Amino acid sequence: MFNHWILIGLLSIITYLSRMAGIELMAKRKMSPTVSLYFQYVPVAIISALIIKQIFVPINGELVISLPILIGCLATAIAIRLIKVFLPSVFIGAVIGMVSRYFFG
């Protein structure tokens, strides 16, 4: 069985190297506003895809909403909106998600 941590490590290294190569190639070129706008939305799109994949869990061939994950994500979003600091907001969301896992199992 292939270890998932090895795969995560390899993908991290490949991603880092490809980004560094991209930065080196584009360092002397001016990006158009359209391309610049595109690159601004890429991280948001990736994070959204990862979150959606965690919220909708396949169980017995059906997609089911994971309430603890959903509650944790909503708590994080609300905390970010209120306190406007990322790391404490993520911590708040994680704690609320763990507490809700206790209740919704």
Euclidean distance between CA atoms 45 and 83, whole angstroms: 23
Residues 55 and 80 in one domain: yes
Predicted confidence band of residue 82 (pLDDT cuts 50, 70, 90): very high
Residues 24 and 40 in one domain: no
Residue 92's domain comprises 32-104
User: What pTM value is reported for the model?
Assistant: 0.62
Q: Residue 101 has which token pair? A: 């896992």
Residues 55 and 26 in one domain: no
Bridge partners (DSSP) of residue 57 are: 64
Number of domains in the chain: 2
Q: Tell me: the pLDDT tens digits for 19-40? A: 777 777 767 677 778 877 887 8
Euclidean distance between CA atoms 87 and 95, whole angstroms: 12
Q: Tell me: the pLDDT tens digits for 47-63? A: 888 889 889 988 998 99
Euclidean distance between CA atoms 93 and 74, whole angstroms: 8
56 — phi, psi (to 5°)? -95, 110
